[in-house]
Chains A and B, each alone.
Chain A
Amino acid sequence: MILADIIYLFLKASLLLSFILVVVLVLTLAERKALARIQQRKGPNRVGFKGFLQPFADALKLLTKEDILPSSANKRIFWIAPLAVFLPGFLIWVTIPMAQEVVLSNLDMGLFYITAISVLSVMGLLMAGWGSANKWAMIGGLRAAGQLISYEIPFIMAILSIAILAQSFNLKEIVDDQGTWPFALKQPLGLFIFLTAGLAELGRTPFDIHHAESEVVGGPFVEYSGAHWSVFYLAEYMNTFTVAVLTVILFLGGWQSPAMPFTGTLQMIVSLIWFLSKTTLVIWLIFWIRGTYPRLRIDQLMSFGWKILVPASFINIFLTASVLYYGLGEWVITIISLLLILATFYFIRRGSLSKTKQDTVRVIRADDIRAQLSSGAEG
């Protein structure tokens, strides 16, 4: 009995893993094609028809490359780190529903489970940074920890206001609650905060200071190569997919469609296609942002997170809860939210134009250090 259960569980988990691997293969090609389109190039077009077999060639190259272990690295931590980054992101998928019945285990606390588990992947980045015994990797790991911990707060707060609206932590119930109007219409500010903080949690381009090539070379991944590096790569694309899927579930109504004439298996397939096409739209938006926005500086990133996103997310929760408590009608949230988005953009604009010094990190310039050293003061 128990053995059969365990085997069944393993089968389901490996099915999930292979689904994610296929998604990641498609996403790598899609991203390269999209970026090429934005930069007026052709992108990969040699392997297979129009380059569609490129991901397989990439995977083969990565797997046959030599795995290099730096001689002064801490071997155990260095090898465990990729797994510690990948595993939390994979565990989230246990409870994510893709259609009415397509879910591994529909947890009652699904939303809370996702936030609690996803936090643990920071540990892997720190381990990679420290275990590499490389100063760029070290700085990159510290940057990653600072950035991810800061942006977790608005991320979780945006999720919480959805839970307040739906009165549930269960992802399926949240989707069912969006039958007529998706939450994007009731929570425009929440959607903005969720997507921005989600991009920061992924470390994708506007927020990729922890593996910025021109500053910290490759961040925590600098010493990795071959199969171990590909695990980081896999985790990054899997998490991109996760954030897109969560955006669809929480804000865009999941697999809900305007009309559903089918029943039974056909309904499941059509709603799955509907769900995946919504996800594709969000993923295109993420690629589009990557192709068109420059990277933030670290002090801009921190002040944006703490001075704009965190207060905005608190205001959003306060607004949602008080409108629901006093029974004011949910369109009130929409209107005030839209005004707040305008206010947010105003503050971002004002912040970017102001000439006042806004250092959240203490900047020490080389001249100051030299002056300090020559005056004989202790640094």
Chain B
Amino acid sequence: MSVFFFAIAAFIVIAGGIGVVAARNIVYAALSLLAVMVGTAGIFLIGLAEFLALVQLLIYGGAVVIVILFALMLTRIQDFEFLSANKHWPLALIVSISFLVLFLISILVNKRTITEMSGVDISELGLTLFADWAIPFELASLVLLIALIGAVVVVRRDNEENR
């Protein structure tokens, strides 16, 4: 049964991924990205990682894709409604092939047999995150804060130049 659902989720992820790359309309590409995110959340759900699945939907589906769409729509959409020549495709090809090789090697070398799947209780997750890994967690939030302040600084300077 879970193989069946995995096939559906994997199909959504792969079709969405192809859509992101191949769509000529940039809004379609952004919506395909949403499909990839939802499919990935589905795969997490099959792996009994409910928390991760919901976070995936909340952060990537709810925030990141919406911000991308928002930015696309604030620009003049007619200017690049149809994407054409992309000069950097050889570089992209090299990077993606090397990632594929990396993943294949790591899968083939690390032979681990899964006997039984079990989910992680959310309270256990919270205790681990905020007790054992508190400092890395806070560091990550610090990085986000710096990015936020940086964005404000950049926008401020731009505004003053315009005036």
Contact = CB atoms under 8 A, between A and B. Distances in A.
A119 B58 contact: yes
A115 interface: yes
Contact of B57 (A2, A119, A127, A152): A119
Interface residues of B, number: 23
A284 interface: no
B135 interface: no
Nearest to B77: A130
Interface residues of A, number: 27
B57 A116 contact: yes
Q: Interface residues of A: mostly helix, strand, loop or mixed?
A: helix
A142 B70 contact: yes
A101 B4 CA distance: 31
Contacts of A122: 62, 66
User: Main SS of chain B's interface residues?
Assistant: helix
B54 A116 contact: yes
A340 B157 CA distance: 35
Nearest to A121: B62
A113 B70 CA distance: 24
Nearest to B4: A2
Given A120-B61, A142-B70, A130 B55 contact: no
A145 B66 contact: yes
Nearest to A122: B66
Interface string B46-60: 000011001101100
A142 to B, nearest CB: 6
**Residue of B27, B58, B77 with most chain A CB atoms under a 10 A cut-off:** B58
Interface string A129-166: 11000000010011001100100100000000000000
B54 A120 contact: no
Nearest to B65: A123
A117 B63 contact: no
B55 A123 contact: no
Q: Name the 10 nearest CB pairs between A and B, nearest first.
A: A119-B62, A116-B58, A116-B54, A116-B57, A145-B70, A126-B69, A112-B54, A122-B66, A109-B50, A130-B73
Interface of B: 1, 27, 31, 34, 50-51, 54-55, 57-58, 61-63, 65-67, 69-70, 73-74, 77, 122, 159
Interface of A: 2, 74, 77, 108-109, 112-113, 115-117, 119-120, 122-123, 126-127, 129-130, 138, 141-142, 145-146, 149, 152, 169, 362
